[in-house]
């Protein structure tokens, strides 16, 4: 007969181990260890939601949002570790826990959750950050945006890429804002607006764009509020295949742009341009984007901060759908 505190018994719950699991892994695993799976998933929701709620509240009160989010996260971990310690202390004797309290059960639940996150990012939606102003005003530096990866069929994340686009996958459409692997260096991700499809002839005359001999419909537009301080910016609304979006030019470049250029898009490739036309490194400079390089379509700004002042949230851009 085993002693009640036999540490070799895998069903004995050790407070120190419960705390270690909560701090180094997650309170979810610590709660599985002590046989309280429903509390574990409750702590998982808190672990994800409390920092967001704290950041939102701090933003409304004019307080540092990153500090508030970090404090909320640490508080949830501390609460989970303390709670797990209390529950484990009551189970240092024989504990007839279910399968998920064993090491393989805890590892299995954690792996299933990790696999779920991987599949979500690889196949459905993946977050990216706008690194430059080449897509202003649709995307500003410091914008965090979601990319819908499902339609285009090129899947992968965390440096792991699946096979090229499935036969059933849809092709991107003119006007889509797409994220793709930069052709000269596929390890780098670029975001641009798709202008030309395979077989299209693209002609750029100064600031004017023509597709198959027809000029892209343009109309004058007021300078976007986000670019109000850039006094040399001239804005226009373009309409391409029924998609309307705003592009900007620098009036100081008028008369100094490159002469007219024409490209014919080869099969299986696409022509892309940045909305900030005078300050974008795009197909005009390095050529076409192969179909298999296109990752997904940018659809929504979910967070936005001022790169010069990281504690400043541009709340008016949160939730903004991309044109």
Give catalytic status of residue 149 as yes or no. Answer: no
Task: Please state whether beta strands 214-215 and 217-221 pair in parallel, antiparallel, or not at all (unpaired).
Answer: unpaired
Active-site hit among 89, 187, 192, 280: 192
pLDDT of residue 9: 46
Token representation of residue 90: 């009551």
Domains in the chain (CATH in brackets) are 15-101 (no CATH), 126-321 (2.10.109.10)
pLDDT of residue 296: 93
Q: Output 22-25 pairs: Cβ under 8 A, ≥24 positions apart.
A: 22/77, 22/80, 22/81, 22/84, 23/77, 23/81, 25/110
Rounded to whole angstroms, what are the CA distances from 30 to 40, 41, 54, 91, 156?
Answer: 7, 11, 24, 13, 30
pLDDT in tens, 81-122: 999 999 998 876 666 678 888 889 899 999 999 999 999 999
Q: How far apart are CA 88 and CA 80, in angstroms?
A: 12
For residue 274, is pLDDT > 50? yes
Confidence grade of residue 282 (pLDDT, cut at 50, 70, 90): very high
pTM: 0.82
Q: What is the pLDDT of residue 8?
A: 42
Q: How confident is the model at residue 314 (pLDDT cuts 50, 70, 90)?
A: confident
The residue whose two tokens read 């540092």 is: 64
152-168 residue pLDDT tens? 888 888 887 776 555 66
Catalytic residue among 60, 89, 132, 134: 134
Q: Report in angstroms the alpha-carbon separations of 302 from 51, 139, 142, 305, 308.
A: 15, 11, 11, 11, 19
Count of CB atoms situated within 10 Å of the CB of 53: 13
Cα 122 from Cα 114, distance rounded (Å): 12
Q: For residue range 176-225, what is the model confidence (pLDDT) as tens digits?
A: 999 999 999 999 999 999 999 999 999 998 888 999 988 888 888 887 77
* Helix, strand, or coil (residue 148): strand
- Which of these, 270, 285, 133, 284, lies nearest to 208 by C-alpha position? 284
User: Is 253 designated active site?
Assistant: no
């Amino acid at each position: 007969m085993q002693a009640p505190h036999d540490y070799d018994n895998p069903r004995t719950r050790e407070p120190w181990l419960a705390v270690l699991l909560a701090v180094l892994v997650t309170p979810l695993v610590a709660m599985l260890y002590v046989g309280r799976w429903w509390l574990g998933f409750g702590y998982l929701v808190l672990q994800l939601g409390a920092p967001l709620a704290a950041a939102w509240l701090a933003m409304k009160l004019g307080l540092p949002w990153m500090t508030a989010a970090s404090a909320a996260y640490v508080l949830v971990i501390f609460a989970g570790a303390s709670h797990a310690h209390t529950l484990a202390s009551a189970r240092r004797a024989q504990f007839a826990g279910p399968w998920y309290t064993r090491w393989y059960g805890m590892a299995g639940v954690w792996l299933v959750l990790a696999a779920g996150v991987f599949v979500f990012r690889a196949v459905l939606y993946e977050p990216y950050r706008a690194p430059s102003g080449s897509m202003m005003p649709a995307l500003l530096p410091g914008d965090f945006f979601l990319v819908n990866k499902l339609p285009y069929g090129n899947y992968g994340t965390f440096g792991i890429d699946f096979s090229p686009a499935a036969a059933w996958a849809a092709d991107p459409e003119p006007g889509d804002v797409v994220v793709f692997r930069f052709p000269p260096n596929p390890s780098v991700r670029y975001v641009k607006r798709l202008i030309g499809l395979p077989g299209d002839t693209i002609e750029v005359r100064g600031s004017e764009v023509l597709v198959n001999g027809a000029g892209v419909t343009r109309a004058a537009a007021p300078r976007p509020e986000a670019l109000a301080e850039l006094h040399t910016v001239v804005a226009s609304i373009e309409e391409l295949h029924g998609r309307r979006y705003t592009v900007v030019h620098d009036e100081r470049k008028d008369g100094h742009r490159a002469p007219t250029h024409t490209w014919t898009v080869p099969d299986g490739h696409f022509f892309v341009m940045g909305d900030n036309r005078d300050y974008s490194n795009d197909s005009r400079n390095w050529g076409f984007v192969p179909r298999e390089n296109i990752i997904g379509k940018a659809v929504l700004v979910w967070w936005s901060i001022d790169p010069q002042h990281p504690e400043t949230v541009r709340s008016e851009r949160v939730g903004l759908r991309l044109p």
